[in-house]
């Protein structure tokens, strides 16, 4: 079975919840995708990491994303990239600056020099607000974002918001495609 197909099965089994929830955006929804449940599973994390590695542009020199949703994704991609002979360092974007020490938003930044080309990873995109915040912080840290990827696009305006700011969004799954399987 192909990695993407199996990852989709695991997302439906482990991450899809049918119930009333309030999303990060403040919107209400009758379903929720908790992708961390799949990304933190040994098989699921490996599969999602492989799927991202397969679509990364050749010029990408590192990966990162907003904590907490992107944490297992960037770690999986970084470790697998090393095992496959294309080592890509990872960074994590904090929701708030550390508040002491270096007072930075990005962790792992010492593994990068200014202008390095990076891909931003995200688990779920709804409105795109959190992802846009991450992109701003990454750009402000001096990194060059050349690719933005997510596991699941809920198809609720996130892709359009990111496009307005010059970022193209590539997805492994859309809500519609994943639920159709």
List the pLDDT tens digit at each of the 181 positions of the chain: 699 999 999 999 999 999 999 988 888 999 999 999 999 999 999 999 999 999 999 999 999 999 999 999 999 999 999 999 999 999 999 999 877 677 799 999 999 999 999 999 999 999 999 999 999 999 999 999 999 999 999 999 999 999 999 999 999 999 999 988 7
Task: Tell me the HSE value of 43 on the side-chain side, using a 13 A CA sphere.
Answer: 13
Structure-token pair, residue 127: 């409105």
The answer to whether the beta carbons of residues 65 and 52 sit under 8 Å apart is no
Whether the CA torsion 11, 62, 142, 170 is positive or negative: it is: negative
The answer to whether the beta carbons of residues 41 and 10 sit under 8 Å apart is yes
Structure-token pair, residue 89: 């360092």
The 8-class DSSP code of residue 11 comes to I
The answer to whether the beta carbons of residues 170 and 55 sit under 8 Å apart is yes
Query: How distant is the alpha carbon of residue 64 from its chain centre?
Result: 8
CATH class of 48-173: alpha beta
The pLDDT of residue 9: 97
Is the omega angle on the peptide bond into residue 113 within 30 degrees of 0, that is, cis? no
Rounded CA Rg of the chain: 16
The pLDDT of residue 154: 96
pTM for the model stands at 0.95
Partners of residue 119 on adjacent β-strands = 63, 147
At residue 45, φ and ψ (nearest 5 deg) are: -65, -45
The pLDDT of residue 25: 82
């Amino acid at each position: 079975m192909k990695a993407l197909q199996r990852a989709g099965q695991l997302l439906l089994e482990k991450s899809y919840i049918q119930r009333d929830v309030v999303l990060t955006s403040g919107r209400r929804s009758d379903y929720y995708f908790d992708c961390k449940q799949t990304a933190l599973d040994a098989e699921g994390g490996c599969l999602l990491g492989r799927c991202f590695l397969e679509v990364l542009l050749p010029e990408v020199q590192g990966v990162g994303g907003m904590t907490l949703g992107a944490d297992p994704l960037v770690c999986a991609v970084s470790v697998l990239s090393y095992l496959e002979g294309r080592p890509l360092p990872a960074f994590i974007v904090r929701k708030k600056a550390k508040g002491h020490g270096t007072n930075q938003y990005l962790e792992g930044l010492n593994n990068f020099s200014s202008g390095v080309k990076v891909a931003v990873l995200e688990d779920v995109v709804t409105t795109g607000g959190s992802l846009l915040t991450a992109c701003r912080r990454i750009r402000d840290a001096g990194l060059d974002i050349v690719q933005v990827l997510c596991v699941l696009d809920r198809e609720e305006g996130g892709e359009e918001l990111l496009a307005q700011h010059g970022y193209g969004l590539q997805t492994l799954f859309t809500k519609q495609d994943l639920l159709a399987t």
